[in-house]
Amino acid sequence: MTQNSQSGLSAEKIEAKREREREVVTQMIGVYCRGNHGTARGELCEDCAALADYASARIGRCPFMATKTFCSQCKVHCYAPAQRQAIKDVMRYAGPRMLLHHPIMTVHHGLDTLAAKRRKSKEA
């Protein structure tokens, strides 16, 4: 098991974090798509499916996964302007609704945020 010297996270933990982030984004896009495009649960319209694929690819290539909290707080914005605005719209709509649709995922997201804040305060 290799450790990332900057974050103290092993490669396995970084990959698990990457998969968890993909799942959160995909679920948020699903909540947005159902609410705005009327799709059935578990289905996405063509535009939302393309956005989910785009986000997944970006998450997969993120070199800052070990140290960042969320894309919105990253110094480097790797999303193209149109996709960046689309994901902002998704987050703005789905964020408040996630507690109702995916309460456990929301709690995990909150814990990840707190852990990242603690790590950042220790570095300062």
Tell me the pLDDT tens digit for each residue of 62-100. Answer: 998 888 777 777 788 889 999 999 999 999 999 999 999
Report pTM: 0.84
Q: Does 74 fall in a domain?
A: yes
Q: Compute the distance between CA of residue 78 and CA of residue 59 in angstroms, rounded to an integer.
A: 10
pLDDT at 51: 98
Q: Does 81 fall in a domain?
A: yes
Q: Does 5 fall in a domain?
A: no
Tell me the pLDDT tens digit for each residue of 103-113. Answer: 998 888 888 77
pLDDT at 85: 96
Phi, psi of 8 (to 5 degrees): 80, 5
Name the band, by pLDDT with cuts 50, 70 and 90, for residue 8. low
Boundaries of domain holding 108: 11-123
Q: Does 63 fall in a domain?
A: yes
Q: Does 22 fall in a domain?
A: yes
pLDDT at 12: 92
Q: Where are the alpha helices (DSSP H) in the chain?
A: 11-37, 46-61, 81-94, 98-101, 103-123
Range 58-65 contact pairs with CB under 8 angstroms and sequence separation of 24 or more: 59/18, 59/21, 59/22, 59/25, 60/18, 60/22, 62/18, 65/14, 65/17, 65/18, 65/21
Q: Does 6 fall in a domain?
A: no
Q: Does 3 fall in a domain?
A: no
Name the band, by pLDDT with cuts 50, 70 and 90, for residue 58. very high
More confident: 19 or 7:
19
Q: Does 2 fall in a domain?
A: no
